[in-house]
Chain A
Amino acid sequence: MEAESSGRGQETSPPPDVLCAGVSKWFRDFWMRPRVRAVESLDLEIGRGEIYGLLGPNGSGKSTTIKMILGLVTPTRGRIAVLGRRPRDVATKRHIGYLPEESYLHGFLSARETLDFYGRLFRLPTRIRRERIDRLLAMVGLDAVGDRPVREFSKGMQRRVGLAQSLINDPQLLILDEPTSGMDPVGAWQIRDLIRELGQRGKTILLCTHQLSDVEDLCDRISIMFGGRIRAQGTCDELLTGESASLIRTPPLEPEVEAEVRQVLARHGVGPVVLERPRRKLETLFLEVVEKARAEGLTTSGAKSGGDVPTFLRSRGGDGDGQPVEALSQPVAVNATLLDSLMRNPSDANGS
């Protein structure tokens, strides 16, 4: 069914923004012996305008997959096309925004200089660069501290700089690796809003996160990886709709009425009852997939979860980073006007 729908898609709709076909990655050691099989026969398709969630425990191959899509790592086998081109193609990268899982910034540059540096790599003219930098700094709430060197920033503030730089080229494809990690609750909320808003504007977003509630809220489709393989893939509805049971939802019932309903149901009667598919929580599904994979003896090259999975799930609440609030100005809420102004994109800047 999956193959059929994609076959139809090729005829009617544009090709997917991200396409991975049979992609494997083995890392080799010094003597060129394959040591770690990070990704195995991965098939992935992300259509235009989709918000796609990539889930999996630590070391399941998510980051390697993202790095292959970004052209930082070359796949051992298989084919990857990003926006219809090779991932290493420079022309592709003009339309990609990337927020890595950690803040990889030049500590000696200020926030403003950092954004200016990446703006220059995107070949944005000075005027547009300045304008966007001002708006982005205001958006992530760093406009008051924009001239301080990044190395003096807290982790959360550095994440904000990272987020701002990922949007400086008004990307078509946005790859966000753990966007809310290290963010305070307000920042995390703001990022969720931003992702939703960008998705509505037709941007393609690949979201890689451990915040399962975010994924459930935001993503059109998800994949759950374990041991370098995709163990579950589909829309949230597809994956989270149970097949084994039915749920009847009614207004609150008196005990005798309930008993009567049971009787009626027992006699296959029809009543004013609403039948619904029960919906599991994504957390439950995630745990199931991981447990099943482990039961099948699949190994992961990353952290051995052992009994940690529940802990990992419990720790999902955004923890504050201890940054004094006074240093951050109140972040500007993500709204349509702001995004409009960000995306007022001269045609020469991105060559589109």
Chain B
Amino acid sequence: MPTGRERRRISRRTWIRAAALVLLAGFGGVALFGPSVARAAAIGVFAMAVGYVVGLKILRRLLAFPRGITGTAGAVLDEAVRMRSTLVLLILLGACVPILPLLLDPAERLTYRVQFLVMWNLGGAFLILSLLTVFLACGSICGDIASGRIHMSLTKPLDRWEYLVGKWLGLVLYNLLLVALVGIGSYTLIRMLAAGPAADQADREAVDRQVLVARRAVPPTRDDPKAYAEAVNAAIEQRAKDDPEGFAGDRARAVDRIRREFDGQWLTVTSDMVSTFVFRELGTKGDTSAKVQLQMDPRAPNVNIDFSDVWFTMSLNDRPWPVHDGEAVTQKLPSYARHVYDLPSSIVSESNELRLRIANKNAVPKGETLATSIMFPPGKGLQLFVRTGGFEANFFRCLAIIWLKLAVVAAVSVAAGAMFDFPSAVLASLVLYAASVGSDFFRDSLGIYNVASDTAWGQATERISYAARYAVEGRGYDMFRVLLGFVTDVLFFIVPSFSSDSSITRLATGIAIPGTAVVTRLVLFGLAYPAAFGFLGWVVLDRRDLVKTGA
């Protein structure tokens, strides 16, 4: 017979269930009969709620397998679901995802709004889920150790490494569920927003063809790579002959400078020249459906505002394009703006490469004899995009990478929890998280005296040799700075570099995330880093005396 208190509990639970049912029914009603935008939103919320309940059920069923690792993971899942701190962060997540689009200014171009939504929805979700993972992992493990609960677990047939793996597995699976829910919510919102009115036709096309797609970026290459290499080598030799001492002193920088000079010259279309850029290995041979886009960000470095527009004609695979009455049409583009041409796939698909020739048609400014040059900044100034797939597959890959990054965060936090008490563990995890998210920034600001070598080993030995030389020369401060750079190298060899992983930016700019990127991150973030950090945590936990009373 239930007691009075029991009866009250039961009735409260029944009320909550009834309220949830009414809410769900309401959402279902809107989803079926409401206006289109509300319908999409209701479907999204409905899918998230159902996904949470069903996903949790599936995970629990999976982890019901009676083994130490699955048992521990199952307890983490229960802890995550029932702890208040996770609830707070989940509410934050739930509020953050659907409220974001409301903050966007409807007067803004739709392209930017969609891009903003993709960036901030997924970026924000990653941040919140990372925090949740850190607090949950450290709270769970440090709580177990501080309260003595770990005495109960570790006196069962559960090895200490199994305990750590179980905690990590529980977090990873919980993150899998949450990332999937964020995915459902985000995707619904993005599609909802993208279905709304655009500023103009160009805006509409940009959303559909430059954001909600997956494209492969192909950089331009030189017409004759062999001749280029020879020219660079000749220039290097010349420089070495002209200034042997200075060159030997800082060879890496000198070579780098020469390369940059050559690149700059090549990407500048001077007034009297027709430049050729070859896009190779387009992978569109025989595939007439492939969509090819040319993106340029041309600059006319002229202080006179009247002459800052860029005028030019193009030819594709030696055929003028665009053509009007058999004549190449001169293109006029404002400087410092990005332009995208949809190229006729018939031209491209004939061969596996595209030769783009650009002739400078800029006007000659008064008092000068030559027209202003057209410059394409290296990197994104001139690119070809080949459409490789839809937005959905790309979105899915992006979510997978976010999840894998969270697996690293989980491993770091589990290791920290095994080593320190709760505040120190959270602090250590957050420091490492900040270092990996801001790794590029830190590397740039701390990596003094950049060195030429590309490999980590090469850079390290190079820095050490510099430091040794400075030590011999008695330049103490320089030696200290080089050693600091060395320490930075070592640090960022340990810390996973999240900032160099641009999957969210790629998704927002419609650049395909290659399947190989997912696989390498699966190996690196899903296995290698967790194994390394987990091992570190295990080494400490295995030697730790688990007593509650402080010695």
Contacts and interface: CB of A to CB of B under 8 A. Distances in A.
A67 interface: yes
Contacts of A121: 68, 71-72, 153, 156-158
Given A27-B545, A121-B156, A327-B3, A36 B151 contact: no
Interface string A23-53: 0000111000001101000000000000000
Nearest to B82: A108
Contacts of B78: 106, 108-109, 113
Interface string A86-108: 00001101101010101011101
B551 A73 contact: no
Contacts of A106: 75, 78-79, 149
Nearest to B75: A117
Contacts of B19: none
Interface in B56-87: 64-68, 70-72, 74-75, 78-79, 82-83
Contacts of A144: 1-2
B152 interface: yes
B148 interface: yes
A73 B70 contact: no
Contacts of A119: 66
B99 interface: no
Interface in B527-551: 543, 545-547, 549, 551
Given A90-B159, A94-B157, A113-B78, A120 B67 contact: yes
Interface in B133-164: 147-159
Nearest to B67: A123
B154 A71 contact: yes
A181 interface: no
Given A36-B551, A108-B82, A120 B64 contact: yes
B547 A120 contact: no
Given A100-B152, A327-B3, A27 B551 contact: yes
B66 A118 contact: no
A64 B547 contact: yes
Contacts of A109: 75, 78
Nearest to B149: A104
Nearest to A25: B545
A248 B551 CA distance: 51
A126 B66 contact: yes
A49 B209 CA distance: 78
Interface residues of B, number: 38
Contact of B157 (A27, A36, A108, A123): A123
B157 A98 contact: no
A185 interface: no
A70 interface: yes
A122 B545 contact: no
A74 interface: yes
A326 interface: yes
Contacts of A242: none
A72 B546 contact: yes
B11 to A, nearest CB: 15
Interface string B8-39: 01000000000000000000000000000000
Nearest to A95: B157
Contacts of B551: 27-29, 35-36, 38
A223 interface: no
B476 to A, nearest CB: 32
B79 A120 contact: no
A179 to B, nearest CB: 15
Nearest to A91: B157
Nearest to A29: B551
A67 B549 CA distance: 12
A69 to B, nearest CB: 10
Nearest to B546: A72
B155 A98 contact: yes
A109 B147 CA distance: 15
Given A36-B551, A108-B83, A118 B152 contact: yes
A248 B113 CA distance: 102
Given A108-B79, A120-B74, A121-B157, A165 B546 contact: no
Interface residues of A, number: 46
Contacts of A210: none
Contact of A102 (B65, B72, B148, B543): B148
A132 B153 CA distance: 19
Contact of B66 (A70, A105, A123): A123
Highest count of chain A CB atoms <10 Å: which of B72, B82, B154, B551: B551
B157 A100 contact: no
Nearest to B5: A327
Contacts of B1: 144
Contacts of A105: 149, 152
Given A64-B547, A72-B151, A118 B156 contact: yes
A100 B156 CA distance: 13
A122 B156 contact: yes
Contacts of B9: 148
Contacts of A326: 3
A62 interface: no
Contact of B155 (A63, A96, A108, A129): A96
Given A108-B82, A126-B64, A327-B3, A72 B547 contact: yes
Contacts of A113: 78
Contacts of A165: 152
A113 to B, nearest CB: 7
B152 A104 contact: yes
Given A117-B74, A165-B152, A104 B147 contact: yes
A29 B551 CA distance: 7
B143 to A, nearest CB: 9
A123 B67 CA distance: 5
Contacts of B155: 70-72, 93, 96, 98
Contacts of B153: 121
A124 B547 CA distance: 28
A67 B158 contact: no
Interface string B445-472: 0000000000000000000000000000
A73 B149 contact: no
A66 to B, nearest CB: 10
A320 interface: no
Given A120-B64, A120-B67, A73 B157 contact: no
A73 B67 contact: no
Given A27-B547, A106-B79, A165-B152, A120 B71 contact: yes
B69 to A, nearest CB: 10
A14 interface: no
Given A29-B551, A108-B83, A74 B152 contact: no
A202 interface: no
A125 interface: yes
A109 B78 CA distance: 8
Which 4 A-B residue pairs are closest in the complex by CB-CB distance? A27-B551, A120-B71, A121-B156, A104-B148
5 contacts: A93-B155, A102-B148, A104-B150, A106-B75, A121-B156
Given A120-B71, A121-B68, A125-B66, 7 more contacts: A63-B547, A71-B154, A93-B155, A93-B157, A102-B148, A109-B78, A117-B74
Interface of B: 1-3, 6, 9, 64-68, 70-72, 74-75, 78-79, 82-83, 147-159, 543, 545-547, 549, 551
